[in-house]
């Protein structure tokens, strides 16, 4: 149970040759691939994207894509339009324009939510949340809703994924910011936490720590190094998160309110420089720390995460698709509850080494799986069932 079988049955070298250039052209099928249970076909929608980070779907079929250097794009078929009016963004290292999400009532209110690295006047940055509305080729009515409580040196571990809960509140991940990992255990600091906000950025009255003076009211869960995959199962309401470890220790969590997930006193990974135990680590498990559901082996630096629910991929229904950066693959995870606890019963590797670094994975409203690749010439791809 602890070491699910991994299957790789694709032809990466053929896929690399099949894509070719497609800037502004017609969508073109690349190749049919065999996976364990589902034959798939990969379609390029557009290329020429500069380090795209996240994807959202507008009701009229257009797509929003963020580029880390600080651009918000509208993709209509293969046409790409850049929107103006964004807040000031510090694009350095891992920072920049990050996640994008539509308000659940977008068709009524038009709100688009963005997470990004916000600069101050001293060269430091914080993870922030803003919202605005599209008016032609401009984002208007832009306002910051939340800024983490402490600015710090730019470049590392911002998080920052967004996910709506069924009750209309918004989850936002914030990384530990890299240089001072114990911040993730300091509940008076937003770093290394998952925060929960109302749609206007205020604190929900039922957040788990609102009556605890030692914990910031926005914190929903804490002790996380850098969550970059976040998804809410639309059928069961479970919150799933994938988190970067140091050298090793990339994890899947089932997030529960008020829980501590341990970083950095509990970690499965090692120190980058020495390959010895991480300096702040005390154990691999500890009382009072909620254990992870799964450790990715081999390492799988995580990116986008989605739950398959639309029925176009029957063999994958209910499974998690977890994107990977340096690992250059998607992991299909079959998670089941067994004797009162959740376990990964099976792990299949998809697209291994075939499209490069995968930054985001989303199930679209049409049921297809959409993928962003993280390159200077990144791509928006669509995975669909093959007959």
Cα 320 to the center of its chain, rounded Å: 12
CA distance 336 to 318: 10
CA distance 28 to 244: 34
Q: Sign of torsion, CA 246 251 255 261?
A: negative
Q: Which two tokens stand for residue 168?
A: 């209309």
Q: Is 103 a catalytic residue?
A: no
CA distance 225 to 264: 7
CA distance 71 to 369: 23
User: CA 232, 233, 239, 244: dihedral to nearest 10 degrees?
Assistant: -70
Strands 302-307 and 294-295: unpaired
Q: What's the chain's Rg over C-alpha atoms?
A: 20
Cα 329 to the center of its chain, rounded Å: 14
Closest Cα to residue 228, out of 7, 53, 90? 53
CA distance 233 to 239: 7
Of the CA atoms within 13 Å of residue 279, those in its CB half-sphere come to: 7
Cα 323 to the center of its chain, rounded Å: 8
The backbone torsions φ and ψ at residue 82, rounded to the nearest 5 degrees and listed phi first, read -95, 130
Which stretch of DSSP H or E encloses residue 373?
strand 369-373
Catalytic site residue from 157, 244, 292, 300: 157
Question: Which residue carries 């949340």 as its tokens?
Answer: 129
Residues with active-site annotation: 157
């Amino acid at each position: 149970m602890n070491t699910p079988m991994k299957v790789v049955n694709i032809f990466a070298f053929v896929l690399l040759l099949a894509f070719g250039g497609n800037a502004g052209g017609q969508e073109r099928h690349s190749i049919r691939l065999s996976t364990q249970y589902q034959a798939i076909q990969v379609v390029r929608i557009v290329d020429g994207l500069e380090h795209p980070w996240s994807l959202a779907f507008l009701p009229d079929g257009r797509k929003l894509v963020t580029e880390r250097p600080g651009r918000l794009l509208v993709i209509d078929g293969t046409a790409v339009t850049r929107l103006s009016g964004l807040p000031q963004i510090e694009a350095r290292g891992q920072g920049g324009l990050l996640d994008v999400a539509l308000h659940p009532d977008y068709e009524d209110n038009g709100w688009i939510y963005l997470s990004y690295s916000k600069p101050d006047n001293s060269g430091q940055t914080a993870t922030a949340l803003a919202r605005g509305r599209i008016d032609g080729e401009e984002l208007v009515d832009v306002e910051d809703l939340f800024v983490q409580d402490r600015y710090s040196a730019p470049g590392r571990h911002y998080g920052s994924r967004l996910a709506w809960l069924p009750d209309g509140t918004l989850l936002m991940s914030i990384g530990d910011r890299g240089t001072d990992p114990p911040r993730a255990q300091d509940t008076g600091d937003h770093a290394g936490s998952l925060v929960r906000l109302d749609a206007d950025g205020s604190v929900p009255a039922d957040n788990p720590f609102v009556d605890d003076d030692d914990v910031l009211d926005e914190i929903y869960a804490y002790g996380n190094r850098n969550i970059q995959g976040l998804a809410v199962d639309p059928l069961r309401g479970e919150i799933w998160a994938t988190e970067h470890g140091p050298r090793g220790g990339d994890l899947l969590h089932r997030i529960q309110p008020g829980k501590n997930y341990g970083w950095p006193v509990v970690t499965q990974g090692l120190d980058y420089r020495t390959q010895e135990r991480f300096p702040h680590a005390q154990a691999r498990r500890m009382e009072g720390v909620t254990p992870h559901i799964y450790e990715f082996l081999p390492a799988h630096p995580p990116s986008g995460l989605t739950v398959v629910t639309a029925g176009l991929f029957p063999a994958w229904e209910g499974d998690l698709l977890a994107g990977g950066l340096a690992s250059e693959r998607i992991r299909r995870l079959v998670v089941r509850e067994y004797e009162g606890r959740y376990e990964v019963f099976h792990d299949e590797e998809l697209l291994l080494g075939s499209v490069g670094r995968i930054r985001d994975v989303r199930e679209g409203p049409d049921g297809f799986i959409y993928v962003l690749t993280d390159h200077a010439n990144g791509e928006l791809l669509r995975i669909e069932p093959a007959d």
